[in-house]
Amino acid sequence: MLKIDETDMRILRAMQADGSKTVTEIAEQVGISQSPCSRRIIQLQEAGIIRGKTVDLDRRRLGFNALVVARVKLNKHDRAGLEAFRRAIRAIPEIQYAVLLLGSFDYHLHIVVRDIDHYHALVQDKLVSLPGVQEMESSVVLDVVKKTTALPI
């Protein structure tokens, strides 16, 4: 396991703040030269700490004007049933985020759609026929107050 020191943490903070920075820019910000910075980034990637870089797209500017939170209760909780549900939701591109929960509902889904008609069609065509679905409750998001993937490091 890779031992993370303060220099690694500064690299991670710099990358997390702006994933588009070059190694040279990160090295300069962290206060080390480019070669050791590059080696450290490679080590952090190989250790699985840095899992990749993504681009945060504005869903509304791309026509996805509604965000829906759906809570799903399953009628079976055996391994095969859970795996069938997981496979099915992974195949639906509108589902951006899905987590298994403890509590009154089993799954919490974030779903992006162009509008409510798009969501209605998605419910009718795909969501209600997902394996093992017993109950589903949806809420339309009015405003996103905070959205981050940044860890508090």
* CATH entry 3.40.50.620 includes domain 60-140: no
Enumerate the domain spans of the chain: 6-46, 60-140
94-121 per-position pLDDT tens digit: 999 999 999 999 999 999 999 999 999 9
Give me the CATH code for the 6-46 domain, please: 1.10.10.10
20-59 per-position pLDDT tens digit: 999 999 999 999 999 999 999 999 999 999 998 888 899 9
Residue of 109, 101, 106, 97 lying closest to 73 (CA atoms): 106
pTM for the structure as a whole:
0.85
In 1-144, which residue ranges form alpha helices assigned H by DSSP? 6-17, 23-30, 34-46, 79-90, 116-125
Residue of 15, 4, 16 lying closest to 151 (CA atoms): 16
Fold match, 6-46 / 60-140: no
